[in-house]
Chain A
Amino acid sequence: MDKGQNIRYTATTDACKLCTPLGASLCFKGLENCISLLHGSQGCSTYIRRYLISHFREPVDIASSNFSEDTAIFGGGANLKKALDNIRRQYRPGIIGIASTCLSETIGDDVPMFIREYREAYRGEVLPRIIHVSTPSYNGTHADGFHRAVRATVADFTGLPGCGCADLSHKRVQGLVNIFPGMVSPADLRYLKEILASFALRCIMLPDYSETLDGGLWDGFKTVQEGGVGLDSLEAMGDAEATIEFGRVLAFDETGGQILERERGIRLHSIGLPIGVMETDRFFSALEDISVIETPAAFKKERERLIDSYVDGHKYVTGIRAVVYGEEDLVVGIVSFLREIGIVPVLCGSGGQSRRLKEAITSIAGDGDIKGIKVLEGADFTEIEKEAEAMSPDIVIGNSKGYGMARRMNIPLVRAGFPIHDRLGGSRVLHLGYRGAQQLFDTIVNSLLEKKQEESETGYSYM
């Protein structure tokens, strides 16, 4: 039992995390023709919709089973079933992703049982695929909710784990690769698909909201945006040759990739989020390994240009002190990138509670040396800002929610991750691969230059 009650308790002020159902909803948005359904109060789905819409600027329809007082007393089974009926009638989805909430978990609703009963009641009818993930918001953060939904989807579509059907001699489809990229931007997802295609690999990307959350306008009514990973692909996950899963912190937990490796013998390439040259090299090396194809020239050129620009810009960034915050694995990736360009990530903060952040950061520091890096786990923005002030940083890197902190310290904020609520184009921020590092590097250097230029008395127009 957690001895949390005896530890000195501090309230959370300006959280550096969101709740688990948000992450699950985001994951489900990357499934084809899928509607997510939150089993709880109406507010959960509405708040999460608003939060996601403000970042992605796309419709995000999330249903609710809409608890009332009676529901909380007698259980949410009837409401959940009614919600399923109404979603089917209005949206005709191929998949419904159900995520629980703190309310339904606290009253002890048995959602898997409700789903079985629902299927039983409609036996003989073609029902959408129903996936369930348990996401009480008192346990973990939005990042955990996201990964749990990935894992639940893997488990659901491969009949794993615990079905006693471990089948290591399972058929393999050559060139078929699962990729579980984690919580990255639609632009990142598109870029990853481009990369995998260039290695002649067919990828099953879970989730894939590259189109559903960053698509074009409509010529008529649509219930759900086109795109997302489809049922056929999800069914085929268990036949893949390999799985690539990003996240050094994630890897400490049981993941979708691990389940597939253990139960189906699908080789897992677990690597950090490929941010910067070194982590991206690991990614490309995994791809070379799987495909037995050399990295295509186009990406080698991207890498060359990136390093060329590192050299062009290194004097502007050497010794610069950065505060980095966000989801744990994003922080780890950005730290890896910063270290290779000479920026010191003096403070790394996350609301994540894995207690593995420091270990993961140590693992990417080649020499294991993280002197000069302070790591704050399970932190809120108040703690991060308080520490940051003492460290006189030059730049802040993370989502929009650190804007107040950056403003008070009068240093630039380079926006990365989620949410970006105060700028346009959060969906199109590229973080991953050589191209993502290029975008981040240029943005960071230019933010520093802009600050210097604005504060200079002369205001040179030449540098």
Chain B
Amino acid sequence: MEISLLKERERQVYTKGEKPFEMDCEKKSLAGAISQRACVFCGSRVVLYPIADALHLVHGPIGCAAYTWDIRGSLSSGPQLHRLSFSTDLTETDVIYGGEKKLYAALMELIDLHSPKAAFVYSTCIVGIIGDDVEAVCKRVSAEKGIPVLPVHSEGFKGTKKDGYRAACHALFNLTGRGDLAGITRHSINILGEFNIGGEAWIIKDYYERMGVQVVSVMTGDGRVGEIEKAHGAALNVVQCSGSMTYLAKLMEERYGIPWIRVSYFGIEDVSSALYEVAGHFSDAPSIMERTKAMVKEEVERICPGIREYRRDLAGKRAALYVGGAFKAFSLIKALRHLGMNVILAGSQTGTREDYAVLKELCDEGTVIVDDANPIELSKYVIEKDADLFIGGVKERPIAYKLGIGFCDHNHERKTPLAGFIGMLNFAKEVHGTVMSPVWRLTPRRAVGTKDG
């Protein structure tokens, strides 16, 4: 069966080599198209979620809080407050009379109960409609309780997930500039856009510490309010997952004059260049670069034999990837190439025009590039290009499995660290484990011997 695209979606799909490169992106999702994206609230929630000593109160009816309760692999080395789900649980009466009283009561009660270091209040769709003055309630509670209480303007319909990132960045930015900077050295950084999935922030932090670079704060993996309040003391912002946190880096550059760089910690190539770039930034201390070189060499040597083993089986296999931000796609393409695999489909929910231009350069002829895809489009291309592997999140998993294709979860729900050098080995192991599984031999599309002669 030929699967056709919706007309309005045609300009968001491009096959490398087939026509002049012109792609639409950064658009609102098409009604009825079944986008894989979520909403503004999701963007904010995903960025702030890992701050473990803050109260995250979702102001609205129950759904938004319930669906984001303890769903991520973001680990904390201490408090676990972020893993609870708090909601004002608005009912019909509140919709009529307003939810401010409940919001105030909820904040007062929960702050007394959990003694958080700060509170984030997420506005959901109807809060914007019923006209609650969330800002005023937050101010009042902040004054009464003596902790920062930050409104996050994340009404689901007011834009896309990216606008949610911005709202979260605003809240984070409001936390900075409050802390005491004693003890922060000249060779210090903030790690931005690293969410400590499966302990990834710890892996990355360890690299920096071994290099002799001080990490002032991680935003937001294993995050602490106190560290974020001191973030303005760092000498450099190192931004991963650029879609979500570049905006904060820019705000901090403007206010505090902190320069920033974009990096990725996925794949040997990208993690190495991230570390070298940071070391290079501190050229006044050549010992940092020396240590970095030694460390990278040591780490690479440690994982190479394992990677070679996996690569032997994986070489020539075809991979499809569909991720949130395009920057992750760049790294994954390189990492997959390292495993000898070909990328036949690369897409993202929120890529920009510049992102897709880079993606196009990275991809081979014939690779399909998609923006804000849906299940039908993803199915179409994994079938047409005969993928052996799909990299995505939970929503993409059944698309792969139903069609007899291996799957690697590279989203926030996963529990395995895939960042850093050790993460590359984990990634290779996971990809190998799924692609080489014997189960595919029994699946209808790939059954051997018994069907189709």
Contacts and interface: CB of A to CB of B under 8 A. Distances in A.
B85 A14 contact: yes
Nearest to B99: A138
Which residue among A59, A82, A90, A101 has the maximum number of chain B CB atoms within 10 Å of its CB?
A: A90
B86 A13 contact: yes
Given A11-B89, A90-B33, A219-B445, A44 B105 contact: no
B1 interface: yes
B63 A22 contact: yes
A82 B31 contact: yes
B294 to A, nearest CB: 42
Given A5-B101, A217-B404, A15 B106 contact: no
A103 B92 CA distance: 12
Interface in B395-430: 395, 397-399, 401-404
B102 A86 contact: no
A223 B157 CA distance: 27
A43 B398 contact: no
B157 A103 contact: yes
Contacts of B89: 11-12, 15
B61 A65 contact: no
Given A4-B93, A102-B60, A220 B445 contact: yes
A351 B35 CA distance: 30
Nearest to B383: A221
Contacts of A61: 34, 375
A138 B126 contact: yes
Nearest to B440: A217
A307 interface: no
B64 interface: yes
A151 to B, nearest CB: 19
A72 B128 contact: yes
Contacts of B84: 13-14
B61 A221 contact: no
**What class of interface size applies to chain A in its complex with B?**
35 or more
Given A9-B106, A103-B126, A220-B383, A48 B93 contact: no
Contact of B41 (A43, A69, A72, A139): A43
Nearest to B452: A219
Interface string A1-36: 110110001111111011101100000000000000
A40 interface: yes
Contacts, number: 246
Contacts of A218: 402-404, 444-445
A320 interface: no
Given A218-B403, A221-B383, A43 B156 contact: yes
A83 B393 CA distance: 24
B35 A11 contact: no
Contacts of B441: none
A89 B6 contact: yes
A240 interface: no
A51 interface: yes
B383 A64 contact: no
Contacts of A54: 394
A102 B96 CA distance: 12
Contacts of B182: none
B126 A106 contact: yes
Interface in A56-94: 57-69, 71-72, 79-80, 82-87, 89-91
B126 A102 contact: yes
Interface in B16-58: 28-42, 57
B98 to A, nearest CB: 10
B185 interface: no
Given A13-B85, A18-B67, A79-B31, A43 B402 contact: no
B157 A71 contact: yes
B315 interface: no
Contact of A12 (B87, B376, B397): B87
A383 to B, nearest CB: 12
Contact of A136 (B92, B159, B394): B92
A111 interface: no
B229 to A, nearest CB: 25
A137 to B, nearest CB: 4
B125 A59 contact: no
Interface in A243-282: none
A47 to B, nearest CB: 4
Contact of A58 (B105, B158, B398): B398
Contacts of B383: 220-221
Contacts of B269: none
Contacts of B69: 14-15, 401
Contact of B63 (A1, A18, A69, A222): A18
Interface in A284-338: none
Given A103-B156, A221-B379, A64 B34 contact: yes
A37 interface: yes
B62 interface: yes
Contact of B34 (A1, A62, A217, A219): A62
Interface string A118-150: 000000000000000000111101000000000
Nearest to B39: A43
Among B110, B156, B380, which residue has the most Cβ atoms of chain A within 10 A? B156
A71 B374 CA distance: 22
Given A83-B31, A218-B403, A47 B92 contact: no
A91 B398 CA distance: 17
Nearest to A380: B89
A66 B128 CA distance: 16
Most chain A CB atoms below 10 A, which of B33, B66, B401: B66
B15 to A, nearest CB: 18
Given A2-B93, A138-B95, 18 more contacts: A11-B88, A19-B61, A19-B63, A21-B63, A49-B395, A50-B67, A50-B394, A64-B29, A64-B31, A64-B35, A66-B32, A68-B28, A82-B32, A102-B61, A106-B125, A137-B61, A217-B403, A222-B402
Top 9 closest pairs, chain A to chain B, by CB: A43-B39, A19-B63, A83-B32, A86-B32, A41-B156, A11-B106, A219-B444, A12-B89, A47-B67
11 contacts: A11-B57, A13-B85, A18-B66, A60-B398, A64-B29, A64-B31, A68-B158, A72-B128, A102-B125, A103-B157, A217-B404
